[in-house]
Amino acid sequence: MAEITLDTVSKSFGAVKVIDDISLTVAAGEFVVFLGPSGSGKSTLLRMIAGLETIDSGRLEIGGRESQNLAPGQRNVAMVFQNYALYPHMSVRENMAFGLRNIRMAPDEITRRVEEAARILEMDALLDRRPAQLSGGQRQRVAIGRAIVKEPAAFLFDEPLSNLDAALRVRTRVELAELHQRMQSTMIYVTHDQTEAMTMADRIVVLNDCRIEQIGTPMEVYTAPATRFVAGFIGSPAMNFLPVQIEGSAAVLADGARVPLTVAPEGAAELGIRPEAVQVVGPDEAVVTGEARVVEHLGDRTLIYAVLPGGAEIIAQDGGRSTVAPGDAVPLRFDTSQLHLFDAAGRALPAA
């Protein structure tokens, strides 16, 4: 395992800047996820670490060695791509050994590494099969095994679960998390899927518009988003955003309803609150009453899409046996311990 350090790295394609002065340290043995929408620069950043894209400016260190000018094969990292890229005419064993044979490694060492990788991935019984005889998840494990046999300083994953169906993605996600726990290797994983990021990462690097918006543990980026973008990108369904006017110790909604705050600057702002913190209550407990437009019964919970008197839309969460129906008046109360405020630039402000 190795520490990976990026120091003010930048990358442009012609006049278009795709990575803008990013600095980041991935600790040895850490599982870090690069999360962001399409075009945010996450895959480009990963490819810069791997050496598949050049670094225009800045420094890259892998295991304490300056690496930005090294060829990909000299960086001691292994990359697992979205496309498995297995040789169809080769067995699993041959696919995993192919790269080691190319560098003329001793046959006994190749056998040891392949069998050890197969044991780690629980693929011992599949070594003599060809890719056509494997499921999608098994093929992905072969691709990971091909990386493991290199015994790299770090593993780089570029959206490796994108081609799998929903059920298989969940199972493979768990397998990857278990693999990291067993190997304790440095891993960087790129995805646009927040569920993958939240369930696997030690830390999440949220990227947007070629820059880092926030770095933190999964619960830090969920409970204390640094920007409006992070607040809206993390969480499903997304956080509610309501325009408010801060007056004294309250946020005043468009219809005049007042939400108590502990600390907040005066003036216009945007109030953020997650659906699970918007509770359906009795009329006497309500801060505001909305009209239900759509009701989604999800078994353990019910999501209510409502419109407030001032015209703002809001998503509330009720119990699984909720009796709310479209068209009903829905009394709502906000959990003031879970409020967020954002200024006009999208930066988080102190709130309740």
The predicted structure's pLDDT at residue 259: 86
Q: What 3-state class would DSSP assign to 144?
A: helix
**Is 314:242 a contact under the CB 8 Å cutoff?**
yes
Q: Is residue 185 part of a domain?
A: yes
**Is 153:186 a contact under the CB 8 Å cutoff?**
yes
171 and 272 share one domain? no
Residue of 168 and 323 predicted with greater confidence: 323
Q: Stretch 102-128: mean pLDDT, rounded?
A: 89
Q: What 3-state class would DSSP assign to 343?
A: coil
34 and 130 share one domain? yes
255 and 324 share one domain? yes
The predicted structure's pLDDT at residue 264: 64
The predicted structure's pLDDT at residue 263: 64
66 and 19 share one domain? yes
The predicted structure's pLDDT at residue 136: 82
Q: Is residue 200 part of a domain?
A: yes
- Structure token digits, residue 330: 């829905």
43 and 122 share one domain? yes
Residue of 257 and 323 predicted with greater confidence: 323
| Whole-number Å distance between alpha carbons of 227 and 180 | 30
- How many domains would you assign to the chain? 2
| Whole-number Å distance between alpha carbons of 39 and 126 | 37
Q: Is residue 230 part of a domain?
A: no
220 and 244 share one domain? no
The predicted structure's pLDDT at residue 113: 92
225, 255, 274 — which closes off a domain? Answer: 225
| Average confidence score pLDDT of the chain | 90
CATH of the domain at 107: 3.40.50.300
- Structure token digits, residue 325: 């129906």
The predicted structure's pLDDT at residue 183: 83
Integer Rg of the chain from CA: 24
172, 201, 225 — which closes off a domain? Answer: 225
Q: Is residue 231 part of a domain?
A: no
The predicted structure's pLDDT at residue 167: 78
Task: Give the range of the structural domain holding residue 50, as residue numbers without chain letter.
Answer: 4-225
CATH of the domain at 259: 2.40.50.140
pLDDT, tens digit, for every residue of 138-170? 888 898 888 889 889 899 999 888 777 777 788
The predicted structure's pLDDT at residue 22: 95
95 and 32 share one domain? yes
Q: Is residue 326 part of a domain?
A: yes
Q: Is residue 39 part of a domain?
A: yes
SS3 per-residue string spanning 30-59: CEEEEECCCCCCHHHHHHHHHCCCCCCEEE
Q: Give yes or no for residue 50 having a pLDDT over 80.
A: yes
17 and 64 share one domain? yes
Q: Give me the percent of the chain exceeding a pLDDT of 70.
A: 99
179, 203, 225 — which closes off a domain? Answer: 225
What pTM, to 2 d.p., does this model score? 0.89
